Each structure stands twice: as C-alpha cells, then as structure tokens.
Amino acid sequence: MTQAPLAADGAGARSAAFADFALAAARDAGAAILPHFRAPIHVDDKGGARGYDPVTEADRAAEAVIRAAIQQRYPHHGIYGEEHGRRAGSAPYTWVIDPIDGTRSFILGQLHWGTLIALNDGVRPIVGVMHQPYVDESFVAVDGRAEWRRGAARRALQTRPCPRLEDAVVASTDPRHFQSARQMAAYAEATRDARLVRFGGDCYCYTQVAMGLVDIVIETGLAPYDIQALIPLIENAGGVVSNWDGGRCDAGGDVLACGDPALHAALLRAIAEAT
C-alpha cells in the first residue's frame, strides 16, 4: 500500500502510524470500489428495522481489501466490519470498518458516500479516517488533530461557533428514521427552529461539522461502524458527539453531533425536557 505520512513525534508516532495505515487501506479499498461506481451493479437488500438496506459487491470487496491489510500488518488486532462481521484479536485494539457508508447514494451515482475506518483502543476510537475515492478527498483524525486532504493539499479542520439553534444548519440522513415518540420529539427539537435542514449526507454530514459548514447532525439507529471513525474527527476539530443522553455513542444508536459545545449542551437539555 502507498502510505501518506502524518507528522508526529514521541508518543504520537505509533498513533500516526495507525492513521497512515488506515488511510492507505481506505485508498486501496477505493480502488476496489470505483470500477463499480456509476456502473451496472447487483444490489441485495439486507432489510432490517429501518427498511431497505442495500449492499453491493463493491461493499463486500472493499471490506475484504481492508481486512486483508489488517490481518497482514496487525494480525493480533480485532476487526469489526459491517459486511464480514467480527474477528476477535488478542490485542486490545479493534479496527471498525464501514466499507461504503452511504450505499444508497453509491447505487444512485451520488457522491455522499465514503469508506470509514476507525481504530478503537478498547476504550474509545483513537483514529478515524473517511475517504471518498471518486473525488480523492480524505478526512483524518489522530492525536488531537483533524485534517482534510486532497492530493497535496492539507488543511486543519475547525468547527465554527454557533450557540443558537436559530442560526444553525442541521444535517441528517433520512427523517423517516425517526419513528418512535421519543425519536420524533428529539428530531423536532433539533430542527424546528433551525435556519436550514438538509438530508441524505450519511458520513459527509459529520465531516461537514468538522469543516465548520454544518452545526448539528442528529441521527438514530446507527451501528458502531457508522460512527466510530467520525467521533475523533469532530472531537479533534472542537465539536462534541454523544448519544441523546450526553454519554458516549461508540456503540451507535441515537447520535447528536454539534460543532459548538454550547449548542450541544442546549440541545441535550431540550431533548431531555421534550422526551
């Protein structure tokens, strides 16, 4: 795999090596994905509680590429992937993989999809990578830094101040996912007075929070591989990601991400009062 070095020294060198590896693996997965993008492809429906859940040979092939790279480089690490399941490791580390987050967009030929790779140290995700191979855009989080990359370009990411919901831009993948009374009440609190609400972004919703373009992401029914790579990206850029009770959301479920910590705290209070 080709490696793009991430500057680090001292204790950060090992984490930087993990991040370099994750980005290289995501790029190699992209090479397996792209021949299927905007081309005829068979789509299976995995079904589930949220209805239509498509998967393609591109999803499966990309995860196979990533898993093979991990097994070769870090054979003692665990792996948890959306398409090929769990493999326990003897080390505390687990790689958490979503080979194509946003498969619905992928099969429509849209661009709001990407490969997600996180490294969980047994406590929380310490490395997060999102790579979109069609536009060659990457987001890398490690050692307190969040960075956007495209070609030779590099830019540190920073969320923007937005303490008032009335000034906020909200992103969410699909409003139909909010079905229970609690889910609908939480969604209403996050969107009712917002300046702008947009749908369909999947992993891109979170990268745009880290970029300072979106202020709130609210979602429900997520799996660990949907969110773990994105948690350090937003946190390292100055934002906050939690479940709707304010706790860790590494296991997925109900997720609230905000670029401004004050806005996040205010929304948690509003959700608690409404539900």
Q: What is the pLDDT of residues 11-60, one digit of tens each?
A: 478 899 999 999 999 999 999 999 999 999 999 998 877 778 899 999 99
Sheet strands side by side (includes 85-87): 85-87, 78-81, 94-101, 114-120, 125-132, 137-142, 145-150, 153-156
Percent of the chain with pLDDT over 90: 91
Rg, C-alpha atoms of the chain:
18
Q: What is the pLDDT of residues 79-137, one digit of tens each?
A: 999 999 999 999 999 999 999 999 999 999 999 999 999 999 999 999 999 999 999 99
Q: How many CB atoms lie within 10 A of CB 140?
A: 28
Residue found by looking up tokens 């984490």 in the block: 15
Please tell me the pTM assigned to this model.
0.93
